[in-house]
């Protein structure tokens, strides 16, 4: 036993501080033998190795006296950090001893009686302890009926405990069965039971005999209950294992019997799986791969990890569509009129996108052979030779790109699946993982094809411009094969390891911007721009779609709620500032919710006399501040009056067009050119080009600055927290600089856009519709546009062209002539 080493740190004086100073005559003094995790009881014989200093000293002292010791188990404190005396122990006699070569002892101890320590002598090495016998109460001769009943209960419980534990010797069981003394019976049982030392110390110190028997009985019953629960659990586990092994043996025997009878295929557990794969009618390569894997799994033990991997792989093969097509094939294809009606029913305008979808449907009907008169089944799509197009809808948020994909599926009567690519940065999300990896799965493409259940669904890849990449690969590169009509007929997923045909899928992708899409991927897609909406378009969308939708979702479908056109226009102008209609939908929803709250307060829908259908409300412009609060947008960036050095450009962003005010001041200095407003490199270059162009034309204009080379210029674009870049602000920057140089303000209410070259030419720009919508929203009357954008202007909606006056310019001189009414040129001298 490990030396406790406690005599210097356990506080013996503190323990005995309350002990009596005078001792009774029956008390005796014994050497103290400290024990750890061992509790000795009277009427028992225990062999023990004594290897620690205190114990060796106690044994040597006992050998010099009457061979008796006081043995007590040290009790751990609550924190478990130190060991402490406990008052109860057992007086034991050394009946055998052997001194070992290392000066330690092997002794055999016999317990005599229980006692409690009342004093000790710390001056001696072995700590002599004065022990008083424990006064036992309730011990009658012969025992009473209550005691006899408890003794019999203890015997029965101990015999059951011995059966459970299998660690109690036959001599101990026999001694317990024959024991007629309650003290001796308790000691034998406590010594034989495998319980914690703390519990044995507690049982050792109980003086009342009946209470001790009850405590012993309670301890045995608790141990028996634990053994019973463990036996029950073990039995269930064993039974389950035996049943599994039995089933395995029977399956193996059945397999051999079927092999002898020549019926192995019909009765094989994998026959159904193989039949399911064959019913899907995959190509020959897939059939050979599946049969090879089925042959492998039949040779493997059913519980091996590889068998589970192969089973999952075969189930994926069986679940994928290999020859199933939607009902839009052959005679079941939707005609143009019905498809056009569905598209118009779901979305307003989007003319180019709808025309492209109707073109695909028309070509589908021309190339699909008609069904035979005797066979009305639709012609399989693979016989038509049509490949699914790859469309990319590009436009600001909230313009209906995603919902348009759902409408396309409905018009074509095809299944619809959607994958969001925003934030995807792992190439395995597209191509899947090798099936040898733990938890491997196919990529999102194959998973969605299983969900669709057909080979020709409408497949929407949402937010393709939000893809990213890291050390795990580039998902955009993995999409190159998927979105190439010449390659996707043999798309290979890492998990499947066999080609899968995606050529009949109608892929539709959406993006807010094309700048972040890699060019090889962009080259494989047909770009269809979904421009922002003008005020009249938003008004029509709100009337036809948004207001009815919000009334239905907020329980006011049956009520007579009317939004006047001027009310919706006020919301568009002063509570939203976007190219799409998402914010407009939110503001209309807020109005409807406030109206619904007012209806409930007036008991509509709650009082049987006031049904919802009787509620009437007309929303007028004057009601908006009560329903929506103060106006959100007041066009503060645009000055109504003319100011020197302030011009207004038009910019395109992913969220639509915005107005871009430019401010310039000059002052004496050393020719520095300061540019602020969080501008990008391209825009900074445009500013320097503008200044260089104006310096080269100084003889043409009335500059009030004597020497521009020794003048500092500061160009600032407000809202500096927003990054700005692009070449289309070149003419705007030049006009602002020229206004500062000549100290003449430009005409108010004019916005402009166009890239300026070093020789003064105005180059065309993109995003024309969004820029014009921004000009309309901010109250601009005239917009100066590059002459090369005239054709695009002619294709715009009539309401946009009527909202602003367009001036088409080819060089900077024309812009300056319109802005400054020709008052900047120097007067030529008469000859």
**Does residue 728 have an active-site annotation?**
yes
Which of 737, 724, 740 lies closest to 683 in space, CA to CA? Answer: 724
State the distance between the two ends of the chain, measured CA to CA, in whole angstroms.
127
Which of 319, 361, 316 lies closest to 343 in space, CA to CA? Answer: 361
User: In the structure encoding, which two tokens stand for residue 194, read together?
Assistant: 């495998």
Give the span between the Cα atoms of 692 and 760, in whole angstroms: 10
CB atoms within 10 A of CB 354: 20
User: In the structure encoding, which two tokens stand for residue 458, read together?
Assistant: 């409408």
Give the span between the Cα atoms of 827 and 830, in whole angstroms: 9
Q: How far is CA 136 from the centre of its chain?
A: 68
Non-local (6+) Cβ contacts of 367 within 8 A are 384, 385, 386
Compute φ and ψ for 323, nearest 5 degrees.
Answer: -145, 10
User: In the structure encoding, which two tokens stand for residue 366, read together?
Assistant: 């021309």
Which of 491, 489, 523, 528 lies closest to 508 in space, CA to CA? Answer: 528
Which of 813, 825, 824 lies closest to 762 in space, CA to CA? Answer: 813
User: In the structure encoding, which two tokens stand for residue 505, read together?
Assistant: 């899928």
Question: Phi-psi bin for 351: left (phi > 0), alpha (psi -120 to 50), beta?
Answer: alpha
Q: How far is CA 415 from CA 364, 402, 452, in A?
A: 17, 15, 6
Give the span between the Cα atoms of 546 and 584, in whole angstroms: 8
Burial of 203 (0-12, 13-18, 19+ CB in 10 A): buried
What is the length of the chain? 831
Give the span between the Cα atoms of 72 and 52, in whole angstroms: 15
Task: Return the exposure string of 813-825: e unless at least 16 CB atoms fall within 10 Å of the residue's CB, then b.
Answer: bbbbebbbeeebe
Give the span between the Cα atoms of 376 and 392, in whole angstroms: 36
Which of 537, 581, 555, 575 lies closest to 403 in space, CA to CA? Answer: 581
Q: Is 126 helix (H, G, I), strand (E, B) or coil?
A: coil
Helix axes 401-412 and 336-346, enclosed angle (nearest 10): 150
Non-local (6+) Cβ contacts of 669 within 8 A are 710, 711, 712
Non-local (6+) Cβ contacts of 387 within 8 A are 485, 503, 504
Catalytic-role residue among 728, 736, 739, 769: 728
Catalytic-role residue among 289, 435, 444, 771: 771
Q: How far is CA 791 from CA 349, 673, 755, 775, 780, in A?
A: 20, 37, 18, 19, 22
Give the span between the Cα atoms of 61 and 226, in whole angstroms: 44
Which of 481, 416, 411, 419 lies closest to 445 in space, CA to CA? Answer: 419
**Does residue 771 have an active-site annotation?**
yes
Please write down the HEC assignment for all residues of 665-732. Answer: EEEECCCCEEEECCECHHHHHHHHHHHHHHHHCCCCECCCCCCHHHEEEEEECCCCCCCECCHHHHHH
Give the residue numbers annotated as catalytic, written as ranges.
Answer: 728, 771
């Amino acid at each position: 036993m490990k030396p406790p080493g406690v005599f210097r740190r356990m506080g013996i004086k503190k323990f005995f501080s309350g002990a009596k100073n005078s001792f009774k005559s029956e008390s005796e003094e014994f050497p103290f033998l400290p024990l750890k995790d061992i509790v000795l009881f009277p009427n028992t014989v225990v062999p023990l190795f004594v290897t620690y200093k205190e114990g060796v000293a106690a044994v040597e002292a006992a050998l010099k006296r009457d061979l008796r010791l006081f043995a007590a188990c040290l009790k751990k404190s609550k924190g478990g950090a130190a060991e402490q005396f406990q008052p109860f122990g057992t007086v034991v006699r050394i009946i055998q001893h052997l001194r070992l070569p290392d000066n330690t002892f092997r002794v055999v101890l016999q317990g005599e009686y229980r006692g409690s320590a009342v004093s000790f002598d710390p001056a001696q090495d072995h700590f002599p302890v004065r022990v008083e016998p424990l006064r036992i109460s309730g011990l009658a001769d012969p025992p009473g009926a209550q005691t006899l009943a408890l003794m019999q209960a203890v015997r029965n419980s101990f015999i059951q405990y011995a059966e459970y534990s299998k660690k109690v010797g036959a001599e101990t069981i026999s001694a317990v069965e024959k024991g007629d003394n309650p003290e001796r019976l308790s000691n034998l049982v406590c010594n034989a039971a495998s319980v914690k030392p703390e519990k044995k110390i507690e049982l050792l110190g109980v003086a009342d005999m009946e209470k001790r028997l009850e405590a012993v009985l309670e301890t045995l019953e608790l141990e028996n209950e634990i053994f019973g629960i463990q036996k029950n659990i073990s039995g269930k586990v064993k039974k389950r294992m035996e049943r599994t092994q039995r089933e395995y043996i029977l399956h193996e025997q059945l397999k051999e019997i079927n092999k002898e009878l020549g019926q192995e295929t019909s009765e094989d557990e994998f026959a159904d799986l193989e039949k399911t794969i064959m019913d899907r009618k995959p190509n020959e390569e897939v059939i050979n791969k599946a049969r090879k894997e089925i042959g492998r799994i039949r040779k493997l033990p059913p519980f091996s990890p590889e068998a589970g991997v192969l089973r999952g792989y075969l189930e994926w093969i069986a679940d994928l569509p290999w020859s199933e097509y939607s009902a839009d094939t052959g005679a079941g294809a939707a005609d143009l009129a019905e498809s056009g009606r569905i598209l118009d029913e779901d979305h307003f305008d989007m003319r180019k996108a709808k025309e492209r979808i109707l073109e695909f449907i028309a070509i589908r009907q021309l190339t699909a052979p008609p069904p035979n008169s005797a066979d009305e089944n639709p012609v399989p799509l693979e016989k038509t030779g049509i490949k699914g197009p790859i469309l990319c809808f590009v436009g600001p948020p909230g313009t209906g790109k995603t919902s348009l994909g759902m409408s396309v599926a409905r018009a074509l009567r095809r299944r619809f699946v959607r994958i969001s690519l925003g934030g995807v940065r792992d190439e395995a999300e597209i191509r899947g993982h090798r099936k040898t990896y733990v938890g491997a799965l196919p990529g999102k493409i194959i998973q969605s094809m299983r969900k669709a259940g057909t080979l020709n669904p409408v497949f929407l890849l949402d937010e393709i411009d939000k893809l990213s990449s890291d050390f795990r690969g580039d998902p955009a590169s993995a999409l190159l094969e998927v979105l190439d009509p010449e390659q996707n007929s043999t798309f290979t997923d890492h998990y499947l390891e066999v080609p899968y045909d995606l050529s009949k899928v109608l892929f539709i992708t959406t993006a807010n911007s094309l700048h972040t899409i890699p060019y090889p991927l962009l080259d494989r897609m047909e770009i269809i721009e979904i421009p922002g909406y003008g005020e009249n378009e938003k008004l029509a969308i709100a009337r036809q779609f948004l207001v009815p939708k919000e009334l239905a979702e907020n329980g006011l479908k049956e009520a007579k709620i009317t939004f006047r056109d001027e009310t919706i226009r006020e919301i568009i102008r002063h509570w939203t500032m976007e190219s799409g209609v998402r914010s407009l939908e939110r503001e209309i929803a807020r109005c409807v919710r406030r109206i619904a709250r007012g209806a409930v307060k007036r008991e509509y829908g709650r009082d049987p006399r006031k049904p919802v259908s009787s509620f009437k409300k007309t929303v007028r412009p004057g009601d908006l501040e009560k329903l929506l609060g103060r106006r959100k947008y007041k066009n503060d960036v645009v000055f109504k009056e003319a100011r020197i050095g302030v011009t207004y450009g038009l910019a395109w962003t992913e969220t639509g067009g915005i107005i871009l005010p430019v401010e310039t001041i000059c002052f004496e200095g050393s020719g520095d050119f300061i540019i602020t407003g969080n501008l990008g490199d391209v825009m900074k270059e445009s500013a320097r080009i503008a200044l260089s162009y104006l310096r080269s034309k100084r003889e043409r204009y009335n500059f009030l600055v004597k020497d521009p080379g020794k003048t500092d210029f500061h160009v600032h674009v407000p809202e500096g927290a927003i990054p700005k870049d692009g070449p289309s602000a070149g003419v705007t920057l030049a006009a602002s600089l020229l206004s500062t140089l000549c100290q003449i303000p430009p005409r108010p209410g004019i916005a402009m856009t166009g890239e300026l070259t070093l020789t003064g030419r105005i180059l065309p720009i993109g995003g024309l519709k969004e820029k014009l919508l921004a000009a309309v929203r901010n109250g601009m009357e005239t917009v100066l546009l590059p002459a090369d954008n005239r054709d695009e202007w002619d294709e715009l909606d009539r309401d946009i062209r009527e909202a602003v006056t367009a001036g088409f310019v080819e060089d900077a001189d024309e812009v300056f002539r319109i802005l400054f009414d020709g008052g900047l040129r120097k007067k030529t001298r008469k000859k």
